Structure 1
Amino acid sequence: MKLRHAMVCSSNQNRSMEAHSLLKRQGFDVSSYGTGAHVKLPGPSLREPNVYEFGTPYKQMFDDLRRKDPELYKRNGILSMLKRNSSVKLAPQRWQENAADGSFDVVFTFEEKVFDMVIEDLNNREHVLMKPALVINLDVKDNHEEAAVGARLALDLCYEIEAVDSWEDAIDDVVTSFERQHRRKLLYSICFY
């Protein structure tokens, strides 16, 4: 069974794009989205984030931050993250505006509040196709090292889901096996398009 995957995170661009990049390199059909109102990147302080509109090209963000303080954004890894992101896709997209086509079999989130937002969004849509979508939350801390670990775990889970004839029938066993093997708790729900 060939699945179409969507990576979803909050308004940051680290965890979902790391998973997007890895899954894409492994041949999966994948998209990634944010769920916030804006794209927020760390700034010089917690009270001074860099805020961009969804659709702002990653290259434009890169150039803006390199102009503002190249040493800070190189040191905190934001410039390398934006460079990676621009090699994956042109610009960040917002889930609520771009994921309405019902083409996803599996949707990953990397924090529980985003899982809740995606579930709410899918449940509030008109269910025309009655096509199931598996929504899985794999909690991942928002730093570069954990994002890489989370991406590999998402890839492992994709392979496990693809290995079964019908994920709808086998998802409980797949999740139990994954949790035991990786010692990570998952949340999951089945929604419909």
Structure 2
Amino acid sequence: MTEGRKMRFAMVCSSNQNRSMEAHTLLKRHGLDVASYGTGAHVKLPGPSLHEPNVYEFGTPYKTMYEELRRKDPDLYKRNGILPMLKRNLAVKNAPQRWQDNAADGIFDVVMTFEERVFDMVIEDMNNREQKLMKAVLIINLEVKDNHEEAAAGAKVALELCKELEATDSWEDTIDDIVAKFEREQERRILYSISFY
């Protein structure tokens, strides 16, 4: 395997930040240049019932969410994994960020999503941006169920794929082969598209 190049990765999920932050944490731990985002209108975390989610604005510090939910019902939010998730998130960054508002965050080589609906939203957003640099960005969807166990498993798969991409000199020339090999080895279907900055 060749030396490859240093790449910037973005992990993107819907509104609760579980899958993208799990992947962000793992990739960061392995020394990759990574950021994470949500695409929803708000950050939604499970509440006491399906019809009573906890809703926060993007940019609300994870510490604020953690303290508020710990005050509300520490047993519930510990049991359903929300407090440990927020604690993990706050060790990685201050607050959740929204993908659509990330233009100032710079340019990514790879954007990875964890559900097809989010993949479509990222592609639409990229297509609506002015393409000045003509720099390619690879957008990949790795379908991962939104629960803590699947998020942890999906993060490991995301890490392997990102390492594979970073190890190549030119993903633009080898992406079809990388994806085919990866799908065979991981027994997972991957969607991908190329857009431009």
Q: Please state which band the TM-score falls in when normalised by the shorter chain.
A: over 0.9
Describe how 1:40-55 pairs up with structure 2 within 5 A: 40-55=44-59
CA offset at residue 51 of structure 1? 0.0
Provide the C-alpha distance between the structure 1 equivalents of 2:65 and 2:129, rounded to a whole number of angstroms: 32
Secondary structure of residue in 2 paired with 1:176 = helix
- Detail structure 1 runs of 4+ shifted over 6 Å in the superposition: none
CA offset at residue 123 of structure 1? 0.5
Please report the TM-score for the alignment, with normalisation by the length of structure 1.
0.98
Which residue of structure 2 aligns with residue 78 of structure 1? Answer: 82
Stretches of structure 1 lacking an aligned partner (at least 5 in a row): none
CA offset at residue 99 of structure 1? 3.7
Which residue of structure 2 aligns with residue 161 of structure 1? Answer: 165
Describe how 1:87-106 pairs up with structure 2 within 5 A: 87-106=91-110
Could you list the per-position Cα deviations for residues 47-96 of structure 1 after superposition, in whole angstroms to 9, with x for gaps in the alignment?
A: 00000000000010000001111110000000000000000000000001
Stretches of structure 2 lacking an aligned partner (at least 5 in a row): none
CA RMSD of aligned residues (A): 0.8
Provide the C-alpha distance between the structure 2 equivalents of 1:4 and 1:186, rounded to a whole number of angstroms: 19
CA offset at residue 175 of structure 1? 0.2
Secondary structure of residue in 2 paired with 1:43 = coil
Which residue of structure 1 aligns with residue 129 of structure 2? Answer: 125
Which one of the candidate residues 36, 40, 57 is aligned to 1:36?
Answer: 40
Could you list the per-position Cα deviations for residues 129-175 of structure 1 after superposition, in whole angstroms to 9, with x for gaps in the alignment?
A: 11100000000000111001110001000111112110000000000
Please report the TM-score for the alignment, with normalisation by the length of structure 2.
0.96
Which one of the candidate residues 141, 145, 156 is aligned to 1:141?
Answer: 145
